[in-house]
Structure 1
């Protein structure tokens, strides 16, 4: 068969090829979405007096945040163990985003930044399972040492770093970026 004399055949072949290219473009691998977080709770336990527990919660992070329960009232010159809990209350039932992060430790890093810088010292106490040069810190658990009396803020940022985590805050995007008020007495 001489295809040069059959324009209909050529048009059909071109349509088929164009359609198959278009289908390939639509089958792009999905990307990891950031975690949906509506509620962040920091729970700090005094290491010397484990019955002394301080909790601060920020609600409605996805809309107009509610900071009415977001103050950490801490003792001066004291060491606390910390745990952060994150929820997505837009889901029914409420989704424990902390569990999602725990399942994907190799993709997440919490960054805790006190202002002023000498307000307290934060050490991340958990690690992921990334291969060398990892493992890297995660920050679901912490140790916080307060300074002398004072007040300020503790910025908590959760970095989402699929396939780029290197132990620093630079790569990736933010799942959470909020401030807790800190009062040290």
Structure 2
């Protein structure tokens, strides 16, 4: 009678050891999180087509979110003018300052800029650069003014790994703003005259 129970006892003990060993494993890899770069400065340069007077807007927040308020200058644009816009990004918290534009460009499939006109500002903005999947990035854009107006232009860079909306999405701007993490958001006062 004792011999009949021994094999079951051995199997029971081995099963409990295997269960304990597999459930208490410390070898599970930790997910790797990429640390986002700090963007302290966003510069937008607007070059008018057929004219010579460029306009530059600089948003600067050297201590990042939560510290001192950011500084920003007003964009004074001409009415009925087409501008080619380019954005440049920097981390001024490092010495020397680090330019981050090329990194965003290289990771264009994970980033997109969104342009919002606020407070009755009338501008037509079209992103002109594309990522490898032919989706807009927004480091380059065409900005078209019509009649005189004033208001604010908000530029938001979203980090959207595996979340970028398809190129044909009719609600791209609103949908894109709700996805991913905001890397930087700058709001410029704008006067068109």
Pair in the same fold by TM > 0.5: yes
Alpha-carbon offset, residue 177 of structure 1:
1.6
Deviates more, 1:156-165 or 1:111-120: 111-120
Aligned match of 1:41 in 40, 43, 50? 43
RMSD of the alignment, in Å?
2.6
Alpha-carbon offset, residue 119 of structure 1:
1.4
Structure 1: any 5+ residue segments left out of the alignment? Answer: none
1:91-138 Cα distance to aligned partner (Å, 9 max, x none):
2332212111011011011000112465111100000002xxxx1100
Alpha-carbon offset, residue 14 of structure 1:
7.8
Tell me the residue number matched to 1:59: 60
Deviates more, 1:53-62 or 1:151-160: 53-62
The within-5 A match list for 1:76-115 is 76-115=79-118
Alpha-carbon offset, residue 172 of structure 1:
1.2
Alpha-carbon offset, residue 11 of structure 1:
10
Evaluate the alpha carbon distance shift between residue 65 and residue 84 of structure 1 in structure 2; reply closer, same or farther with a 3 A threshold. farther
Q: Secondary structure at the match of 1:162?
A: coil
Tell me the residue number matched to 2:169: none
The reply on whether 1:126 has 2:129 as its aligned counterpart is yes
Tell me the residue number matched to 1:165: 164
Tell me the residue number matched to 2:153: 154
Alpha-carbon offset, residue 178 of structure 1:
2.0
Deviates more, 1:137-146 or 1:58-67: 58-67
Structure 2: any 5+ residue segments left out of the alignment? Answer: 1-6, 167-171
Distance 1:55 1:165 in 2: 29
TM-score normalised by length of structure 2: 0.78
Q: Which has the larger radius of gyration?
A: 2
**Paired residue total:** 174
